[in-house]
Structure 1
Amino acid sequence: MYDAILYETADHVARITLNRPQARNALTDQMIEELLDAFGRARDDDEVRVIVLTGAGDRAFCAGADLGGLGAAQRDGRPVADPEAIRASAPYRLFTAFPRLGKPIIARLAGHAVAGGLGLAAACDLVIAAEDVTLATPEVNVGLWPMMIMAIVNRNVPPKHAFRLYYTGERIGAAEARDIGLVTEVVPRADLDARVDELARLIASKSPLALRRGRDAFFAVEGRPLEDQVAHLLGELVELAGSADAKEGIAAYLEGRAPRFRGA
Protein backbone atom coordinates (compact mmCIF):
# COMPACT_ATOMS: atom_id res chain seq x y z
CA MET A 1 0.00 0.00 0.00
CA TYR A 2 2.92 2.35 0.67
CA ASP A 3 6.13 3.10 -1.22
CA ALA A 4 8.16 5.12 1.30
CA ILE A 5 7.12 3.45 4.56
CA LEU A 6 6.18 0.05 5.91
CA TYR A 7 3.11 -0.56 8.06
CA GLU A 8 2.36 -3.71 10.04
CA THR A 9 0.32 -4.61 13.09
CA ALA A 10 0.62 -7.43 15.62
CA ASP A 11 -0.37 -7.90 19.25
CA HIS A 12 -2.11 -4.49 19.48
CA VAL A 13 1.01 -2.67 18.19
CA ALA A 14 1.27 -0.80 14.88
CA ARG A 15 4.84 -0.60 13.62
CA ILE A 16 5.58 2.18 11.11
CA THR A 17 8.98 2.12 9.41
CA LEU A 18 10.53 4.92 7.38
CA ASN A 19 11.72 2.86 4.42
CA ARG A 20 14.28 4.87 2.44
CA PRO A 21 17.51 3.51 3.94
CA GLN A 22 19.51 4.41 0.83
CA ALA A 23 18.63 8.07 1.54
CA ARG A 24 19.05 7.74 5.32
CA ASN A 25 15.25 7.71 5.61
CA ALA A 26 15.06 11.40 4.73
CA LEU A 27 11.56 12.82 4.72
CA THR A 28 9.93 13.66 1.41
CA ASP A 29 6.44 14.99 0.83
CA GLN A 30 5.40 11.51 -0.32
CA MET A 31 6.77 9.89 2.83
CA ILE A 32 5.02 12.46 5.00
CA GLU A 33 1.70 11.88 3.24
CA GLU A 34 2.13 8.14 3.77
CA LEU A 35 3.03 8.69 7.43
CA LEU A 36 -0.08 10.80 7.94
CA ASP A 37 -2.21 8.09 6.33
CA ALA A 38 -0.58 5.41 8.52
CA PHE A 39 -1.12 7.52 11.63
CA GLY A 40 -4.80 7.76 10.71
CA ARG A 41 -5.03 4.00 10.18
CA ALA A 42 -3.46 3.30 13.56
CA ARG A 43 -5.64 5.90 15.29
CA ASP A 44 -8.85 4.48 13.84
CA ASP A 45 -7.99 0.80 14.35
CA ASP A 46 -9.48 -0.37 17.66
CA GLU A 47 -7.07 -3.31 17.69
CA VAL A 48 -4.07 -0.94 17.80
CA ARG A 49 -3.17 0.36 21.23
CA VAL A 50 0.45 1.49 20.73
CA ILE A 51 2.43 2.84 17.75
CA VAL A 52 6.16 2.23 17.20
CA LEU A 53 7.94 4.54 14.75
CA THR A 54 11.35 3.51 13.43
CA GLY A 55 13.66 3.76 10.43
CA ALA A 56 14.88 1.00 8.14
CA GLY A 57 18.49 -0.05 8.60
CA ASP A 58 20.89 0.97 11.32
CA ARG A 59 22.50 3.98 9.64
CA ALA A 60 19.82 6.56 10.32
CA PHE A 61 16.45 6.81 12.02
CA CYS A 62 15.83 9.87 9.86
CA ALA A 63 18.17 12.46 8.34
CA GLY A 64 15.55 15.20 8.22
CA ALA A 65 13.59 16.68 5.36
CA ASP A 66 14.33 18.34 2.07
CA LEU A 67 13.43 22.02 1.90
CA GLY A 68 10.68 21.67 -0.66
CA GLY A 69 7.03 22.01 0.23
CA LEU A 70 7.60 24.18 3.28
CA GLY A 71 4.85 26.63 2.47
CA ALA A 72 6.51 29.35 0.42
CA ALA A 73 5.08 31.88 -1.96
CA GLN A 74 6.99 33.99 -4.47
CA ARG A 75 7.47 37.74 -4.18
CA ASP A 76 9.87 39.56 -6.48
CA GLY A 77 11.26 36.20 -7.44
CA ARG A 78 12.09 35.29 -3.84
CA PRO A 79 10.35 32.73 -1.58
CA VAL A 80 8.44 34.18 1.36
CA ALA A 81 6.41 32.56 4.11
CA ASP A 82 2.75 32.25 3.22
CA PRO A 83 0.46 31.40 6.19
CA GLU A 84 -2.09 29.45 4.15
CA ALA A 85 0.59 27.51 2.29
CA ILE A 86 2.41 26.77 5.54
CA ARG A 87 -0.67 25.24 7.16
CA ALA A 88 -1.31 23.17 4.06
CA SER A 89 2.30 21.98 3.78
CA ALA A 90 3.28 18.39 4.49
CA PRO A 91 5.81 19.22 7.28
CA TYR A 92 3.30 21.40 9.14
CA ARG A 93 0.62 18.72 9.00
CA LEU A 94 3.09 16.03 10.10
CA PHE A 95 4.44 17.76 13.17
CA THR A 96 1.02 18.98 14.29
CA ALA A 97 -0.49 15.50 13.90
CA PHE A 98 1.21 13.95 16.93
CA PRO A 99 -1.05 15.45 19.63
CA ARG A 100 -4.08 14.04 17.80
CA LEU A 101 -2.82 10.46 17.44
CA GLY A 102 -4.96 9.30 20.35
CA LYS A 103 -2.49 6.51 21.14
CA PRO A 104 0.99 6.30 22.68
CA ILE A 105 3.83 6.42 20.17
CA ILE A 106 7.35 5.11 20.79
CA ALA A 107 10.34 6.09 18.66
CA ARG A 108 12.85 3.28 18.13
CA LEU A 109 16.25 4.75 17.27
CA ALA A 110 18.61 2.23 15.72
CA GLY A 111 20.28 4.98 13.69
CA HIS A 112 21.11 8.65 13.91
CA ALA A 113 18.38 11.31 14.25
CA VAL A 114 19.37 14.57 12.59
CA ALA A 115 17.58 17.86 11.89
CA GLY A 116 13.93 17.08 11.13
CA GLY A 117 14.64 13.49 12.10
CA LEU A 118 15.51 14.66 15.60
CA GLY A 119 12.24 16.58 15.64
CA LEU A 120 10.36 13.50 14.50
CA ALA A 121 11.81 11.45 17.35
CA ALA A 122 11.20 14.23 19.89
CA ALA A 123 7.56 14.46 18.79
CA CYS A 124 7.03 10.86 19.95
CA ASP A 125 5.92 10.20 23.52
CA LEU A 126 8.82 7.89 24.34
CA VAL A 127 12.21 7.44 22.65
CA ILE A 128 14.28 4.27 23.05
CA ALA A 129 17.75 4.58 21.50
CA ALA A 130 20.66 2.25 20.87
CA GLU A 131 23.66 3.41 22.85
CA ASP A 132 25.78 4.23 19.78
CA VAL A 133 23.35 6.54 17.95
CA THR A 134 23.80 10.31 17.80
CA LEU A 135 21.41 13.24 17.49
CA ALA A 136 21.98 16.73 16.11
CA THR A 137 20.44 19.93 14.77
CA PRO A 138 23.09 20.82 12.15
CA GLU A 139 21.06 23.44 10.29
CA VAL A 140 23.26 26.32 11.47
CA ASN A 141 26.20 24.77 9.64
CA VAL A 142 24.58 25.62 6.30
CA GLY A 143 23.18 29.01 7.28
CA LEU A 144 19.81 27.76 8.45
CA TRP A 145 18.12 27.25 11.82
CA PRO A 146 15.96 24.34 13.10
CA MET A 147 12.83 26.47 12.90
CA MET A 148 10.48 23.63 11.97
CA ILE A 149 11.34 21.46 14.96
CA MET A 150 12.27 24.05 17.58
CA ALA A 151 8.79 24.17 19.13
CA ILE A 152 8.94 20.42 19.64
CA VAL A 153 12.52 20.28 20.90
CA ASN A 154 11.88 23.19 23.28
CA ARG A 155 9.12 21.16 24.98
CA ASN A 156 11.66 18.45 25.80
CA VAL A 157 14.96 20.22 26.45
CA PRO A 158 15.91 23.01 28.90
CA PRO A 159 16.91 26.26 27.14
CA LYS A 160 20.66 26.10 27.86
CA HIS A 161 20.93 22.65 26.31
CA ALA A 162 18.66 23.58 23.42
CA PHE A 163 20.73 26.64 22.54
CA ARG A 164 23.93 24.58 22.52
CA LEU A 165 22.36 22.20 20.02
CA TYR A 166 21.10 25.07 17.86
CA TYR A 167 24.23 27.27 18.04
CA THR A 168 26.87 24.60 17.46
CA GLY A 169 25.19 21.99 15.28
CA GLU A 170 27.30 19.39 17.08
CA ARG A 171 26.23 15.79 17.45
CA ILE A 172 25.51 14.44 20.91
CA GLY A 173 25.46 10.82 21.99
CA ALA A 174 22.38 8.90 23.07
CA ALA A 175 23.34 9.03 26.75
CA GLU A 176 23.64 12.82 26.71
CA ALA A 177 20.39 13.08 24.76
CA ARG A 178 18.76 11.06 27.56
CA ASP A 179 20.27 13.31 30.22
CA ILE A 180 18.87 16.49 28.63
CA GLY A 181 15.42 15.04 27.93
CA LEU A 182 15.45 14.11 24.23
CA VAL A 183 15.62 10.35 24.82
CA THR A 184 13.74 8.20 27.35
CA GLU A 185 16.03 5.19 27.56
CA VAL A 186 19.39 4.12 26.13
CA VAL A 187 20.08 0.42 25.70
CA PRO A 188 22.80 -1.73 24.11
CA ARG A 189 22.14 -2.18 20.40
CA ALA A 190 21.62 -5.92 20.88
CA ASP A 191 18.81 -5.20 23.37
CA LEU A 192 17.01 -2.49 21.40
CA ASP A 193 14.27 -4.58 19.80
CA ALA A 194 13.60 -6.56 22.94
CA ARG A 195 13.24 -3.40 25.03
CA VAL A 196 10.98 -1.65 22.52
CA ASP A 197 8.79 -4.76 22.27
CA GLU A 198 8.67 -5.12 26.05
CA LEU A 199 7.64 -1.50 26.52
CA ALA A 200 5.04 -1.65 23.75
CA ARG A 201 3.50 -4.80 25.24
CA LEU A 202 3.40 -3.24 28.71
CA ILE A 203 1.61 -0.13 27.47
CA ALA A 204 -0.72 -2.17 25.26
CA SER A 205 -1.86 -4.09 28.35
CA LYS A 206 -3.35 -0.93 29.86
CA SER A 207 -6.83 0.47 29.31
CA PRO A 208 -7.07 1.87 25.75
CA LEU A 209 -9.63 4.37 26.99
CA ALA A 210 -7.41 5.61 29.81
CA LEU A 211 -4.45 5.90 27.45
CA ARG A 212 -6.43 7.90 24.91
CA ARG A 213 -8.23 10.17 27.37
CA GLY A 214 -5.09 10.72 29.41
CA ARG A 215 -2.92 11.50 26.38
CA ASP A 216 -5.55 13.82 24.91
CA ALA A 217 -5.83 15.63 28.27
CA PHE A 218 -2.04 16.05 28.43
CA PHE A 219 -2.05 18.01 25.18
CA ALA A 220 -5.35 19.78 25.89
CA VAL A 221 -4.05 21.53 29.01
CA GLU A 222 -0.57 22.32 27.71
CA GLY A 223 0.21 26.02 28.18
CA ARG A 224 -3.06 26.85 29.92
CA PRO A 225 -3.27 28.57 33.33
CA LEU A 226 -3.12 26.24 36.34
CA GLU A 227 -6.73 26.87 37.30
CA ASP A 228 -7.92 25.91 33.82
CA GLN A 229 -5.73 22.81 33.81
CA VAL A 230 -7.06 21.54 37.13
CA ALA A 231 -10.69 22.20 36.14
CA HIS A 232 -10.28 20.41 32.82
CA LEU A 233 -8.41 17.45 34.31
CA LEU A 234 -10.90 17.02 37.15
CA GLY A 235 -13.72 16.83 34.64
CA GLU A 236 -11.78 14.23 32.65
CA LEU A 237 -11.15 12.19 35.79
CA VAL A 238 -14.83 12.17 36.72
CA GLU A 239 -15.80 10.92 33.26
CA LEU A 240 -13.02 8.32 33.15
CA ALA A 241 -13.94 7.00 36.62
CA GLY A 242 -17.39 6.12 35.35
CA SER A 243 -16.11 4.08 32.42
CA ALA A 244 -16.39 0.31 32.06
CA ASP A 245 -12.60 0.02 31.88
CA ALA A 246 -12.16 1.81 35.21
CA LYS A 247 -14.77 -0.42 36.85
CA GLU A 248 -13.09 -3.50 35.40
CA GLY A 249 -9.66 -2.32 36.54
CA ILE A 250 -10.81 -1.75 40.09
CA ALA A 251 -12.66 -5.08 40.20
CA ALA A 252 -9.62 -6.92 38.85
CA TYR A 253 -7.40 -5.28 41.47
CA LEU A 254 -9.72 -6.30 44.29
CA GLU A 255 -10.00 -9.85 42.93
CA GLY A 256 -6.27 -10.23 42.40
CA ARG A 257 -6.45 -10.92 38.66
CA ALA A 258 -5.32 -9.27 35.43
CA PRO A 259 -7.86 -6.77 34.07
CA ARG A 260 -9.65 -7.41 30.79
CA PHE A 261 -9.90 -3.95 29.26
CA ARG A 262 -12.20 -3.30 26.31
CA GLY A 263 -11.53 0.36 25.66
CA ALA A 264 -14.94 1.59 26.82
Structure 2
Amino acid sequence: MTTSDILLRVLDGTGILRLTLNDVRRRNALSEAMLAELGAAFAAAGTDPNVRVIVLAANGPAFCAGHDLKEMTAGRLNGDGGKAYFAHVMAMCAGVMQGIVNCPKPVIAEVTGIATAAGCQLVASCDLAIAADTAQFSTPGVHIGLFCSTPMVALSRNVADKHAMEMLLTGDLTSAARAAEIGLVNRVAAPDASQTVTMELARKIASKSSMTLATGKRAYYAQREMSLPDAYDYASAVMVDNMLAQDAEEGIEAFIEKRAPQWQDA
Protein backbone atom coordinates (compact mmCIF):
# COMPACT_ATOMS: atom_id res chain seq x y z
CA MET A 1 0.00 0.00 0.00
CA THR A 2 1.41 3.39 -0.99
CA THR A 3 1.11 6.45 1.20
CA SER A 4 -1.55 7.93 -1.07
CA ASP A 5 -3.70 4.78 -0.62
CA ILE A 6 -4.09 5.10 3.16
CA LEU A 7 -6.26 8.24 2.88
CA LEU A 8 -8.79 8.38 0.06
CA ARG A 9 -10.15 11.70 -1.20
CA VAL A 10 -13.42 12.22 -3.13
CA LEU A 11 -14.93 15.66 -3.81
CA ASP A 12 -18.51 15.67 -5.08
CA GLY A 13 -20.38 18.31 -7.08
CA THR A 14 -21.93 19.91 -3.99
CA GLY A 15 -18.58 20.76 -2.41
CA ILE A 16 -18.46 17.86 0.06
CA LEU A 17 -15.00 16.33 0.42
CA ARG A 18 -14.96 12.77 1.78
CA LEU A 19 -11.68 11.82 3.40
CA THR A 20 -11.64 8.08 4.11
CA LEU A 21 -9.07 6.41 6.35
CA ASN A 22 -8.04 3.32 4.39
CA ASP A 23 -5.22 1.61 6.27
CA VAL A 24 -7.53 -1.26 7.22
CA ARG A 25 -4.72 -3.72 7.99
CA ARG A 26 -3.44 -1.43 10.74
CA ARG A 27 -6.98 -0.54 11.88
CA ASN A 28 -6.49 2.97 10.46
CA ALA A 29 -3.90 3.76 13.13
CA LEU A 30 -2.42 7.24 13.25
CA SER A 31 0.96 6.24 11.93
CA GLU A 32 3.43 8.91 10.90
CA ALA A 33 2.29 8.43 7.31
CA MET A 34 -1.40 8.74 8.21
CA LEU A 35 -0.80 11.86 10.29
CA ALA A 36 1.15 13.43 7.43
CA GLU A 37 -1.64 12.61 4.97
CA LEU A 38 -4.35 13.97 7.25
CA GLY A 39 -2.44 17.15 8.01
CA ALA A 40 -1.85 17.83 4.32
CA ALA A 41 -5.46 17.00 3.39
CA PHE A 42 -7.02 19.37 5.92
CA ALA A 43 -4.57 22.15 5.07
CA ALA A 44 -5.34 21.82 1.35
CA ALA A 45 -9.09 21.60 1.89
CA GLY A 46 -9.05 24.70 4.05
CA THR A 47 -7.85 26.84 1.14
CA ASP A 48 -9.75 25.09 -1.66
CA PRO A 49 -12.79 27.20 -2.67
CA ASN A 50 -14.42 24.09 -4.14
CA VAL A 51 -14.58 22.42 -0.71
CA ARG A 52 -17.49 23.50 1.45
CA VAL A 53 -17.75 20.68 4.00
CA ILE A 54 -15.40 17.83 4.93
CA VAL A 55 -16.58 14.35 5.96
CA LEU A 56 -14.03 12.14 7.70
CA ALA A 57 -14.91 8.45 7.35
CA ALA A 58 -13.07 5.12 7.49
CA ASN A 59 -13.01 1.74 5.81
CA GLY A 60 -12.94 -1.48 7.83
CA PRO A 61 -14.19 -2.45 11.30
CA ALA A 62 -12.15 0.25 13.07
CA PHE A 63 -12.64 3.97 12.53
CA CYS A 64 -9.22 4.57 14.07
CA ALA A 65 -7.25 2.58 16.65
CA GLY A 66 -5.17 5.55 17.80
CA HIS A 67 -1.40 5.77 17.57
CA ASP A 68 0.52 2.97 15.85
CA LEU A 69 1.98 1.27 18.92
CA LYS A 70 4.37 -0.85 16.83
CA GLU A 71 5.89 2.32 15.40
CA MET A 72 6.05 3.83 18.89
CA THR A 73 7.73 0.72 20.30
CA ALA A 74 10.31 0.74 17.51
CA GLY A 75 11.12 4.31 18.49
CA ARG A 76 12.40 3.07 21.86
CA LEU A 77 15.44 1.65 20.08
CA ASN A 78 16.81 5.17 19.59
CA GLY A 79 19.66 6.30 21.79
CA ASP A 80 17.43 8.43 24.00
CA GLY A 81 14.96 5.61 24.58
CA GLY A 82 12.53 7.17 22.14
CA LYS A 83 11.99 10.53 23.83
CA ALA A 84 12.65 12.68 20.74
CA TYR A 85 10.62 10.36 18.53
CA PHE A 86 7.67 10.33 20.92
CA ALA A 87 7.76 14.14 21.09
CA HIS A 88 7.82 14.30 17.29
CA VAL A 89 4.80 12.00 16.89
CA MET A 90 2.81 13.81 19.61
CA ALA A 91 3.54 17.14 17.93
CA MET A 92 2.38 15.75 14.58
CA CYS A 93 -0.83 14.45 16.14
CA ALA A 94 -1.52 17.69 18.00
CA GLY A 95 -0.98 19.56 14.74
CA VAL A 96 -3.57 17.42 12.94
CA MET A 97 -6.15 17.86 15.71
CA GLN A 98 -5.63 21.62 15.80
CA GLY A 99 -5.68 21.66 12.00
CA ILE A 100 -9.21 20.24 12.10
CA VAL A 101 -10.34 22.87 14.59
CA ASN A 102 -8.60 25.67 12.70
CA CYS A 103 -9.81 24.53 9.27
CA PRO A 104 -12.38 27.09 8.06
CA LYS A 105 -14.53 24.29 6.60
CA PRO A 106 -16.93 22.35 8.90
CA VAL A 107 -15.68 18.80 9.55
CA ILE A 108 -18.07 15.90 10.22
CA ALA A 109 -16.84 12.53 11.52
CA GLU A 110 -18.75 9.54 10.16
CA VAL A 111 -18.00 6.72 12.59
CA THR A 112 -19.08 3.18 11.79
CA GLY A 113 -16.45 1.26 13.77
CA ILE A 114 -14.46 1.47 16.96
CA ALA A 115 -12.58 4.69 17.80
CA THR A 116 -10.00 4.31 20.52
CA ALA A 117 -7.39 6.54 22.17
CA ALA A 118 -6.18 9.07 19.57
CA GLY A 119 -8.95 7.73 17.31
CA CYS A 120 -11.48 8.92 19.88
CA GLN A 121 -9.52 12.18 19.99
CA LEU A 122 -9.93 12.43 16.22
CA VAL A 123 -13.73 12.15 16.52
CA ALA A 124 -13.83 14.66 19.38
CA SER A 125 -11.75 17.14 17.35
CA CYS A 126 -14.28 17.22 14.51
CA ASP A 127 -17.03 19.84 14.63
CA LEU A 128 -19.81 17.26 14.33
CA ALA A 129 -20.04 13.46 14.47
CA ILE A 130 -22.52 10.86 13.27
CA ALA A 131 -22.11 7.33 14.63
CA ALA A 132 -23.52 4.00 13.55
CA ASP A 133 -25.26 2.30 16.47
CA THR A 134 -22.54 -0.36 16.36
CA ALA A 135 -19.73 2.17 16.86
CA GLN A 136 -17.82 2.26 20.13
CA PHE A 137 -15.46 4.77 21.73
CA SER A 138 -12.79 4.53 24.40
CA THR A 139 -9.67 6.10 25.85
CA PRO A 140 -8.05 2.84 27.00
CA GLY A 141 -4.53 4.01 27.81
CA VAL A 142 -4.89 3.12 31.50
CA HIS A 143 -5.02 -0.55 30.50
CA ILE A 144 -1.41 -0.39 29.27
CA GLY A 145 0.02 2.09 31.77
CA LEU A 146 -0.33 5.08 29.46
CA PHE A 147 -2.90 7.74 30.41
CA CYS A 148 -4.67 9.18 27.35
CA SER A 149 -3.45 12.69 28.08
CA THR A 150 -3.62 14.10 24.55
CA PRO A 151 -7.04 12.53 23.75
CA MET A 152 -8.12 14.11 27.04
CA VAL A 153 -7.71 17.59 25.54
CA ALA A 154 -10.31 17.03 22.83
CA LEU A 155 -12.55 14.81 24.96
CA SER A 156 -12.76 17.33 27.81
CA ARG A 157 -13.86 20.00 25.35
CA ASN A 158 -16.77 17.86 24.17
CA VAL A 159 -18.24 16.21 27.25
CA ALA A 160 -18.75 17.18 30.90
CA ASP A 161 -15.89 16.60 33.32
CA LYS A 162 -17.30 13.56 35.09
CA HIS A 163 -18.15 11.81 31.82
CA ALA A 164 -14.67 12.54 30.46
CA MET A 165 -12.98 11.37 33.65
CA GLU A 166 -14.98 8.14 33.69
CA MET A 167 -13.82 7.32 30.16
CA LEU A 168 -10.21 8.28 30.94
CA LEU A 169 -9.95 6.53 34.32
CA THR A 170 -11.68 3.27 33.39
CA GLY A 171 -10.75 2.88 29.73
CA ASP A 172 -14.10 1.19 29.22
CA LEU A 173 -15.83 1.05 25.85
CA THR A 174 -18.62 3.59 25.40
CA SER A 175 -21.52 2.69 23.13
CA ALA A 176 -22.72 4.99 20.37
CA ALA A 177 -25.96 5.61 22.28
CA ARG A 178 -24.04 6.63 25.39
CA ALA A 179 -21.67 8.77 23.30
CA ALA A 180 -24.70 10.68 22.03
CA GLU A 181 -26.05 11.09 25.58
CA ILE A 182 -22.83 12.68 26.81
CA GLY A 183 -22.29 14.85 23.73
CA LEU A 184 -19.39 13.07 22.03
CA VAL A 185 -21.50 12.51 18.90
CA ASN A 186 -24.51 14.34 17.51
CA ARG A 187 -26.63 11.50 16.19
CA VAL A 188 -26.77 7.72 16.04
CA ALA A 189 -28.00 5.86 12.97
CA ALA A 190 -28.31 2.28 11.77
CA PRO A 191 -25.05 1.08 10.18
CA ASP A 192 -26.55 1.01 6.70
CA ALA A 193 -27.95 4.52 7.14
CA SER A 194 -25.03 6.33 8.76
CA GLN A 195 -23.54 7.54 5.49
CA THR A 196 -26.93 8.78 4.29
CA VAL A 197 -27.51 10.65 7.55
CA THR A 198 -24.01 12.13 7.44
CA MET A 199 -24.30 13.26 3.83
CA GLU A 200 -27.74 14.81 4.41
CA LEU A 201 -26.26 16.87 7.24
CA ALA A 202 -23.22 17.74 5.12
CA ARG A 203 -25.37 18.91 2.20
CA LYS A 204 -27.52 21.05 4.49
CA ILE A 205 -24.41 22.79 5.81
CA ALA A 206 -22.81 23.03 2.36
CA SER A 207 -25.82 25.02 1.13
CA LYS A 208 -24.88 27.93 3.42
CA SER A 209 -22.44 30.74 2.70
CA SER A 210 -18.92 29.39 3.18
CA MET A 211 -17.84 32.83 4.38
CA THR A 212 -20.47 32.72 7.10
CA LEU A 213 -19.54 29.17 8.13
CA ALA A 214 -15.84 30.05 8.34
CA THR A 215 -16.60 33.18 10.36
CA GLY A 216 -18.79 31.25 12.77
CA LYS A 217 -16.47 28.29 13.24
CA ARG A 218 -13.48 30.52 13.92
CA ALA A 219 -15.46 32.65 16.37
CA TYR A 220 -16.94 29.67 18.21
CA TYR A 221 -13.59 28.12 19.09
CA ALA A 222 -12.03 31.49 19.92
CA GLN A 223 -14.74 32.76 22.27
CA ARG A 224 -15.04 29.60 24.37
CA GLU A 225 -11.53 30.12 25.74
CA MET A 226 -12.34 33.70 26.86
CA SER A 227 -13.95 35.19 29.95
CA LEU A 228 -17.62 36.13 29.55
CA PRO A 229 -16.99 39.90 29.07
CA ASP A 230 -14.14 39.24 26.62
CA ALA A 231 -16.23 36.71 24.73
CA TYR A 232 -19.07 39.22 24.26
CA ASP A 233 -16.67 41.97 23.19
CA TYR A 234 -15.05 39.63 20.67
CA ALA A 235 -18.32 38.21 19.36
CA SER A 236 -19.81 41.68 19.00
CA ALA A 237 -16.86 42.77 16.87
CA VAL A 238 -17.22 39.61 14.75
CA MET A 239 -20.93 40.33 14.32
CA VAL A 240 -20.24 43.88 13.14
CA ASP A 241 -17.75 42.67 10.52
CA ASN A 242 -20.14 39.90 9.49
CA MET A 243 -22.98 42.39 9.01
CA LEU A 244 -20.79 44.34 6.57
CA ALA A 245 -20.12 41.24 4.45
CA GLN A 246 -21.73 40.83 1.03
CA ASP A 247 -23.41 37.53 1.89
CA ALA A 248 -24.99 38.95 5.04
CA GLU A 249 -26.49 41.80 3.01
CA GLU A 250 -27.72 39.33 0.39
CA GLY A 251 -29.08 36.90 2.99
CA ILE A 252 -31.07 39.57 4.82
CA GLU A 253 -32.48 40.97 1.57
CA ALA A 254 -33.43 37.45 0.42
CA PHE A 255 -35.19 36.81 3.73
CA ILE A 256 -37.17 40.06 3.47
CA GLU A 257 -38.00 39.39 -0.16
CA LYS A 258 -38.92 35.75 0.58
CA ARG A 259 -36.51 34.24 -1.96
CA ALA A 260 -33.51 31.93 -1.89
CA PRO A 261 -30.22 33.76 -1.31
CA GLN A 262 -27.52 33.74 -3.95
CA TRP A 263 -24.27 33.31 -2.04
CA GLN A 264 -21.03 34.84 -3.27
CA ASP A 265 -19.07 33.34 -0.34
CA ALA A 266 -17.81 36.79 0.48
> TM-score when scaled to structure 2?
0.91
Q: What is residue 221 of structure 1 aligned with on the other side?
A: 223
Q: Does 1:143 align with 2:138?
A: no
Are the aligned partners of 1:86 and 1:92 in contact in 2 as well (CA < 8 Å)?
no
Q: What is residue 66 of structure 2 aligned with on the other side?
A: 64
Q: Does 1:132 align with 2:134?
A: yes
| Distance in 2, Cα, partners of 1:239 & 1:74 | 54
* Residues 28-177 of structure 1: pairs in structure 2 closer than 5 A: 28-57=31-60, 59-67=61-69, 68=71, 77-80=80-83, 85-86=87-88, 89-177=91-179
Which sits farther off after the overlay, 159-168 or 101-110? 159-168
> TM-score when scaled to structure 1?
0.92
Q: CA shift at 1:100, angstroms?
A: 1.3
RMSD of Structure 2 on Structure 1 (CA) = 2.3
| Distance in 2, Cα, partners of 1:78 & 1:38 | 32
Q: What is residue 235 of structure 2 aligned with on the other side?
A: 233
Give the unaligned 5+ runs of structure 2: none
Q: CA shift at 1:140, angstroms?
A: 0.7
Number of aligned pairs? Answer: 261
Q: What is residue 206 of structure 1 aligned with on the other side?
A: 208
Give, as a single letter, the amino acid of the residue that structure 2 aligns with 1:114. T
Give, as a single letter, the amino acid of the residue that structure 2 aligns with 1:13. I
| Distance in 1, Cα, partners of 2:262 & 2:34 | 37
Give the unaligned 5+ runs of structure 1: none
Residues 1:236 and 1:25: Cα distance change in structure 2 (over 3 Å): same
| Distance in 2, Cα, partners of 1:80 & 1:206 | 46
Q: What is residue 18 of structure 2 aligned with on the other side?
A: 15
Are the aligned partners of 1:128 and 1:196 in contact in 2 as well (CA < 8 Å)?
yes
Residues 1:236 and 1:74: Cα distance change in structure 2 (over 3 Å): farther
| Distance in 2, Cα, partners of 1:239 & 1:142 | 50
Are the aligned partners of 1:69 and 1:90 in contact in 2 as well (CA < 8 Å)?
no
| Distance in 1, Cα, partners of 2:77 & 2:160 | 36
Are the aligned partners of 1:26 and 1:63 in contact in 2 as well (CA < 8 Å)?
yes
Equivalent pairs: percent with the same residue?
Answer: 38
Are the aligned partners of 1:136 and 1:169 in contact in 2 as well (CA < 8 Å)?
yes
Are the aligned partners of 1:108 and 1:127 in contact in 2 as well (CA < 8 Å)?
yes
Residues 1:14 and 1:77: Cα distance change in structure 2 (over 3 Å): closer
| Distance in 1, Cα, partners of 2:85 & 2:36 | 20
Are the aligned partners of 2:139 and 2:151 in contact in 1 as well (CA < 8 Å)?
no
Partner deviation per Cα, 1:229-255 (whole Å, 9 max, x = no partner): 111110110010111101111111122
Q: Which runs of structure 1 show a deviation greater than 6 angstroms over 4 or more consecutive aligned residues?
A: 72-76
Residues 1:50 and 1:19: Cα distance change in structure 2 (over 3 Å): same
Give, as a single letter, the amino acid of the residue that structure 2 aligns with 1:184. N
Secondary structure in 2 aligned to 1:2? Answer: helix
Give, as a single letter, the amino acid of the residue that structure 2 aligns with 1:27. L
Give, as a single letter, the amino acid of the residue that structure 2 aligns with 1:34. E
